[in-house]
Amino acid sequence: MLDYAWLMLLFPALGTLIISLFGTRLGKRAVSILAPAMVFLSFVVAVAAFVSLLGLPVDERSREVTLWRWMVVGNFSVDAALLLDQLSITMALAVTCVGFLIHVYSAGYMHDDERVPRYFAFLNLFILAMLTLVLANNYLLLFVGWEGVGLVSYLLIGFWFEKPAAADAGKKAFIVNRVGDFGLLLAIMFIWTGIGSLRFADVFALAPQVWPAGSAVVGAVTLLMLLASTGKSAQIPLYVWLPDAMEGPTPVSALIHAATMVTAGVYMIARSAVLFDLAPASGNWVAWVGVLTAFFAGTIALTQTDLKRILAYSTVSQLGFMFIAVGVGAYAAGIFHLVTHAFFKALLFLSAGSVMHALNGELDIRKMGNLRVKLPTTYWTFLVGAAALAGIPLFSGFFSKDAILFAAFEKQLPVWIIGVITAFITALYSFRMVFVTFWGQERDRRLFNHAHESPRVVTIPLIILAVGAVLTGYIGLPAISAIDGWLAPAFHPAGAAAETHSVALELILLVVSGLIALAGVFAAYQAYMVDPDLPKRVRASLGRVGRLVENKYYIDEIYDMFVVNPLRDLGGWLGGVFDRRGIDGAVNGLAGVTGWLGAQARRLQTGMVGLYALAMLFGAVALLAWLATR
C-alpha cells in the first residue's frame, strides 16, 4: 500500500484540475460533491498507509517512494519523492481528516456564493500543497509545498476581493510570508553547500559528521528555519498577517489558518529535529519565541471583540505552545498538540462560522448573548472546543498542553512559568467567548430573533470534529503515551533511547495545569457572568498598558512606519528619477529632503540621451578604477 501513497496527492490534483477546467460547466452541486470526495479518497489512502505502516516492525517504518528523478546537477540530485514515516503519516491523517470535514462544511457554508467552483479548486489545491509539504522526502519538495500553501492561502484570504480589507489581507499574508520564506531558501542553500544533498535521510545522517554540535553553520541554518517558521506559523515577529487573514471565508480560516498551514513551521522544525539537536542555542530561541508569542497573543485575544479575531489570536498563542515544545526538544509533544489543536480549533472556527451564519455575518461578541437557546448544537460543539482549548481536564487540549508544559518544566523553568500564566489566560478568554456569546442576556434583540440553527451539512461535521476534539487527547495519555512511542523514531533515526520521565512529577504537574484551567474558567465566570463590570474596572486600572494591548501593541503601525512606507517611497523615488509619471509620488513620499531630490530628479529625468550616456560613462570609470587598482 505504501507504494501507492502518491495517490494521496493525485486525488486533490485531479480535483483541482477538473474543477478549474470544467467547474462552471459542472455546476455548483457536482463540484460540491466532487471536491470533498477527492479529499475523502486521499484520507482513505492515508488511513491505508497508516495501517500498513503499523503492520511493519518499528525500524522499518520509514519508506521512500520515488516518483521521478527531478534534477541532476553533477553528483547532486533531487528526486520528486515521498517520505512515509510516522511523522508524515500523522500529519497526512490530520490534514486529510480535518480537510475532508471542512470541505463538507464548506459545501453548505458557501452554498450561496457565486464562485463555488473557484473556491473548491483552491481548497483542493491547498490539500495538494499541504500534503506535498508533509510528505516530501527532501527540503526542496518541502519548499514547493511550503510556497504552495502560502500561495493558496493568499488566494483564499482574498477570495472575497470585493472587500478591500480582504484583498489587503491577502497581500499582507503573502508578503509577510515571503520574508519568512527567504529564510528557508537560504537555509536550503546552506544545507546544499554544506552537506551536498537535500534528502532528509542524507542530511540527518551526515549533519552530525559535517557540522559539529553547536557550530556556527548549523546555528545559522536552524535560525533561518526559525525565521521561516515564524512567517508560516505566525510567531513573533511575523505573526501580523494571521489575524488579518480572518477576512477570508470562515472554513478557510478553519482549514488553513488554524488546523493545517500554520502548523507547517512546527512540522518543519520537528522534521529537522536532528539539526536542532545539534544547535541547542537555536532550540532555546525557538522556545522563547514560542512562549513570548503565546503570552502576547493571549493577552491580545483577551481584549478583542470580534469572535474570529479572538480565535485567530488564540491560534497564534497555541502555535506558540507548539514552538515551546519543539524548542525544548519535546517534538512528540509538539506534534501531539498540533493534532489536537487541528481538531479543536477547526471545531471552534466552524462553530463560529455557524454563529456568524445564524446572525447574518455578525461577529461582534458584544452584540451576541444567550445564543444557546437558539443554536443548541452549535453551542455544545463550541463548548467542547472551548473546553479543549482551555485545557479542561479530560478534553484533548488538556493532555497535549500538559505534555508541553511538562517538557518545559524539565528543560526551561522560566518558560514553564510564563507558559502556565498563558494557560490561565487561555482558559480565561476561551470561556469569555462561551459566556458572552452563548450565556447571559441577548444584547441585540433583532439579531437574536433572527437567529436560526445551521443546516445539517454544517452541524454534522461539527459533531464529528467535537468527538475528535475530545478523543484525540487519549492517544497521548501521560505515562502510557501512544503518540510519544509512535513518533519518537521519526525524530531520532539513530534510535536514541527514549527518555525516562518521572511519572509522579508528571502527575503532579497534570493536576496543577488542570487546576489552572479551571481557575481560568472560574475567573471568566466571575468576570463575565457574575460581575460584568469587573473587566471594565480592570481595564481602567491598567490605563496605558491596557490601551497598548487593545491596540495589539501597535505592531502593525510600527511595521508600516519602519518597513512598508520607506520601501514604497524609495521605490517611488527611484522610479521617479527615470520616469516622468512617478515623480509626483516621489515628492509626496518623503517630504523635505525627498522633495528637493525629486525636483532635481525631475530636472534630470527628461529622458535625455546625454544623461544616459553620462551615467554609462560614470559607470565605466568606476568599473575601470576598481579593476585597474585592485
Partner 1 sequence: MTLPTLNFLAILPLLILVAATLLVLLADLVVRNKRVLTFLGLLAVAASLAAVLLVRPAAPTFQGMTLADELGLFASVAILVATGLALLLALERTSDFTRRPGAYVALLLLATAGMIVMAKASDFITIFLGLEILSLSLYILVGFAQRDARSNEAALKYFLLGAFASGFFLYGMALIYAATGSTNLAEISKGIASHSASLPFAPLLPIGVGLLLVGYGFKLALVPFHMWTPDVYQGAPTSVTAFMSVATKTAAFASLIRVLAAVWSGDRPWLLALAGLAVVTMTLGNLAALRQTSLKRMLAYSSIAHAGYVLTGLAAGNDRGFEGALYYLIAYTFMNLGAFATIQAVQRRDQNDVTTEQITGLSTQRPGLALLMTVFMFALTGMPPLVGFFGKLYVFSGAVQGGMTWLAIVGVINSAIAAYYYLRVTVLMYMGGATAAAGDIPRTGWAVWTTLVITAVATLALGLWQQPWMESIREAVTLLALR
Smallest gap from Cβ 563 to partner 1, in A, equals: 11
Q: Measured from the CB atom, is 167 or 467 closer to partner 1?
A: 167
The cell 527514549 sits on which residue? 498
* Strand ranges inside 130-205, DSSP E: none
Collapsing DSSP states into helix, strand and coil, what is residue 111? Answer: coil
Q: Measured from the CB atom, is 50 or 120 closer to partner 1?
A: 120
In this structure, are residues 236 and 292 in contact, taking their beta carbons and an 8 Å threshold?
Answer: yes
Residue 306, Cβ density class (10 Å: 0-12 exposed, 13-18 middle, ≥19 buried): middle
Smallest gap from Cβ 616 to partner 1, in A, equals: 5
Smallest gap from Cβ 262 to partner 1, in A, equals: 19
Q: Measured from the CB atom, is 179 or 542 closer to partner 1?
A: 179
Q: Measured from the CB atom, is 480 or 615 closer to partner 1?
A: 615
In this structure, are residues 183 and 143 in contact, taking their beta carbons and an 8 Å threshold?
Answer: no
In this structure, are residues 207 and 139 in contact, taking their beta carbons and an 8 Å threshold?
Answer: no
The cell 474543477 sits on which residue? 19
Beta bridge partners of 65: 82
In this structure, are residues 353 and 109 in contact, taking their beta carbons and an 8 Å threshold?
Answer: yes
Residue 617, Cβ density class (10 Å: 0-12 exposed, 13-18 middle, ≥19 buried): exposed
CA distances from 486 to 201, 204, 242 (A): 19, 19, 32
Smallest gap from Cβ 8 to partner 1, in A, equals: 18
Q: Measured from the CB atom, is 182 or 439 closer to partner 1?
A: 182
Cβ-based neighbours of 312, under 8 Å, separated by 6 or more: 242, 243, 245, 246, 253, 257
Smallest gap from Cβ 233 to partner 1, in A, equals: 18
Identity of the amino acid at 471? L
Smallest gap from Cβ 189 to partner 1, in A, equals: 4
Give, to the nearest 10 degrees, the angle between helix 413-438 and helix 280-303.
30
Q: Measured from the CB atom, is 118 or 432 closer to partner 1?
A: 118
Smallest gap from Cβ 251 to partner 1, in A, equals: 20
Smallest gap from Cβ 95 to partner 1, in A, equals: 19
Q: Measured from the CB atom, is 73 or 494 closer to partner 1?
A: 73
Q: Measured from the CB atom, is 111 or 115 closer to partner 1?
A: 115
| Contacting positions for partner 1 (CB under 8 A) | 68-74, 80, 140, 143-144, 147-148, 151, 158, 161-162, 167, 170-171, 174-175, 178-179, 181-182, 185-186, 188-190, 192-193, 567-568, 570-572, 574-579, 581-582, 585, 607, 609, 611-613, 615-616, 618-620, 623-624, 626-628, 630
Cell digits for 136? Answer: 516530501
Cell digits for 502? Answer: 518521572
Smallest gap from Cβ 152 to partner 1, in A, equals: 11
Q: Measured from the CB atom, is 134 or 384 closer to partner 1?
A: 134
Q: Measured from the CB atom, is 480 or 574 closer to partner 1?
A: 574
Q: Measured from the CB atom, is 545 or 625 closer to partner 1?
A: 625
CA distances from 125 to 10, 11, 94, 150, 518 (A): 11, 10, 17, 11, 41
Beta bridge partners of 76: 73
Smallest gap from Cβ 588 to partner 1, in A, equals: 11
In this structure, are residues 395 and 473 in contact, taking their beta carbons and an 8 Å threshold?
Answer: yes
Collapsing DSSP states into helix, strand and coil, what is residue 171? Answer: helix
Beta bridge partners of 138: 199
Smallest gap from Cβ 154 to partner 1, in A, equals: 8
Q: Where are the alpha helices (DSSP H) in 233-330?
A: 241-244, 250-254, 264-271, 273-278, 280-303, 307-327
Q: How far apart are CA 567 and CA 580, in angstroms?
A: 20
